[in-house]
Chains A and B, each alone.
Chain A
Amino acid sequence: MLEAVSSILKGIGSSAQTSDVTKVSPAVLQSAQSSAGFDGVMEQVAADAIGTLKAGEAASISSIQGKVSAQRVVEAVMSAEQTLQVAVAVRDKVVQAYQEVSRMAI
């Protein structure tokens, strides 16, 4: 369970850095398919989030090149923003759970 959590954290953390996205997402996707239950779901969510963020970035780049309309860019970037906010909120919750487990009196 804790290994799965840390792998999610890795996935979410690297989604903020563009260069690492491609390196992490295939691994996250693969393990999401193999493991079931809560961990698997979380990993799947992380992988989806990375995909949405990449779409937002791609739209921003195309807008700089003048290929897509401003409305499309705003739509894609807003979607990425929402996804990132959810990812961050969920990460905070997971970290909180992790800390509570580590603080448990044995």
Chain B
Amino acid sequence: MIDPLQASVQIASSGLEAQSDRLRIVSENLANANSTGRTPGADPYRRKTVTFASEMDRAAGVRVVKIKDLGLDRSPFRVEYEPNHPAAGQDGYVKLPNVNMLIEMADMRETNRSYEANLQVVKQTRSMVAMTIDLLKGA
């Protein structure tokens, strides 16, 4: 068992990494919001989802957070009538990614807030440790 204050920094750090991965997925979704298929009728980019899981860190004896798995959003694709598009099907409709900008923006904001919260834990821990060490310096 390690020092609880050091453990909280480690846990917060795992949270920071998990949120960074989440932001990566959000940016992938946003960047591919208009990626269609190459061939007629082909499926476009499918929105990725991310789930978190609590994981035991045996060395430190604490539960850290990890990315559990990257899933795919199974919701239907948007369709648009555009017969001269290379990915247009027989009926002239093009399938567009099921990425909703509003959802991605909300997800990004949540990622940001969560990152801030974890960062705040690190800051708080640091100041608590510094205060404790300052006890030695006084007098």
Contact with A along B50-79 (1 / 0, CB 8 A): 000000000000000000000000000000
The reply to whether B137 and A89 contact each other, CB–CB distance below 8 Å, is yes
**Hey, which chain B residues are within 8 Å of A75, CB to CB?**
9-10, 13
Q: Is B31 an interface residue (CB 8 A)?
A: no
CA–CA, A69 to B136, complex, Å? Answer: 33
CB nearest neighbor in B for A72: B13
**Hey, which chain A residues are within 8 Å of B9, CB to CB?**
75, 78-79
A85 and B133 in contact, given A69-B20, A79-B6 (Cβ under 8 angstroms): yes
Interface size on A, residues (CB 8 A): 14
Separation in Å of the B63 CB from the closest CB of chain A?
17
CA–CA, A87 to B133, complex, Å? Answer: 10
CA–CA, A25 to B58, complex, Å? Answer: 27
CA–CA, A86 to B131, complex, Å? Answer: 11
**Hey, which chain B residues are within 8 Å of A4, CB to CB?**
none
The reply to whether B136 and A92 contact each other, CB–CB distance below 8 Å, is yes
A71 and B17 in contact, given A78-B9, A85-B130 (Cβ under 8 angstroms): yes
The reply to whether B13 and A74 contact each other, CB–CB distance below 8 Å, is yes
**Hey, which chain B residues are within 8 Å of A86, CB to CB?**
133, 136
**Hey, which chain A residues are within 8 Å of B13, CB to CB?**
71-72, 74-75
Contact with B along A55-87 (1 / 0, CB 8 A): 000000000000001011011001100100110
CA–CA, A69 to B133, complex, Å? Answer: 28
Using a CB-CB cutoff of 8 Å, which residues 33-57 of chain B contact chain A? none
**Hey, which chain A residues are within 8 Å of B94, CB to CB?**
none
Separation in Å of the A37 CB from the closest CB of chain B?
21
The reply to whether B122 and A69 contact each other, CB–CB distance below 8 Å, is no
Question: Could you give 22 example pairs across A and B, Cβ below 8 Å?
Answer: A69-B17, A71-B13, A71-B16, A71-B17, A72-B17, A74-B13, A74-B122, A75-B10, A75-B13, A78-B9, A79-B6, A79-B9, A82-B6, A82-B126, A82-B133, A85-B130, A85-B133, A86-B136, A89-B137, A90-B136, A92-B136, A92-B137
Q: Is A93 an interface residue (CB 8 A)?
A: yes
Separation in Å of the B125 CB from the closest CB of chain A?
9
**Hey, which chain B residues are within 8 Å of A82, CB to CB?**
6, 126, 129, 133
**Hey, which chain B residues are within 8 Å of A69, CB to CB?**
17, 20
